[in-house]
């Protein structure tokens, strides 16, 4: 069964810093990987989706990379802002089905 792990569980940085969130998964047979943001009491907002054939995706200050063979993905956030404070989740979809497997998330706090 696919297991998704995110490190660190929590991260606190001063505003303006660049930061990297890590995601690892045990089974490399995936269709894609998606990064989400979750604000307290809210649903999940899709940030970036990387197809299994891609190496990275960019959206604004966010850049996500995927190394499928090693079972790793990173989410890079440039010039962090207090509004980036949230929990960031990664999820992978296996190529044997259509369910996403989620990590436990990284809780990010950006200090003004």
Partner 1 sequence: EPEVTQTPSHQVTQMGQEVILRCVPISNHLYFYWYRQILGQKVEFLVSFYNNEISEKSEIFDDQFSVERPDGSNFTLKIRSTKLEDSAMYFCASSRGSYNSPLHFGNGTRLTVT
Site residues, partner 1 (CB under 8 A): 4, 31-32, 34, 36, 41-46, 49, 51, 89, 91, 93, 95, 97-104
Q: How far is the CB of 14 from partner 1 (least distance, A)?
A: 27
Nearer to partner 1 (CB atom), residue 76 or residue 102: 102
Instruction: Determine phi and psi for 65, rounding to 5 degrees.
Output: -120, 160
At residue 99, the 3 state secondary structure works out as coil
Q: How far is the CB of 104 from partner 1 (least distance, A)?
A: 5
* Other Cβ atoms closer than 10 A to 55: 11
Q: How far is the CB of 17 from partner 1 (least distance, A)?
A: 27
Q: CA 31 → CA 10, 34, 78, 89, distances in Å?
A: 28, 10, 27, 17
């Amino acid at each position: 069964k696919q297991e998704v792990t995110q490190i660190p569980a929590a991260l606190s940085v001063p505003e303006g810093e660049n930061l990297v969130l890590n995601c690892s998964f045990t089974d490399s047979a995936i269709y894609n990987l998606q990064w989400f943001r979750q604000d307290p009491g809210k649903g999940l907002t899709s940030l970036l989706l990387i197809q299994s054939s891609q190496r990275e995706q960019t959206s604004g200050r966010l850049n996500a990379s995927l190394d499928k063979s090693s079972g790793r993905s990173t989410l890079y956030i440039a010039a962090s802002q207090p509004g980036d404070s949230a929990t960031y989740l990664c999820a992978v979809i296996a190529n044997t089905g259509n369910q996403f497997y989620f990590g436990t998330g990284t809780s990010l706090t950006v200090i003004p």
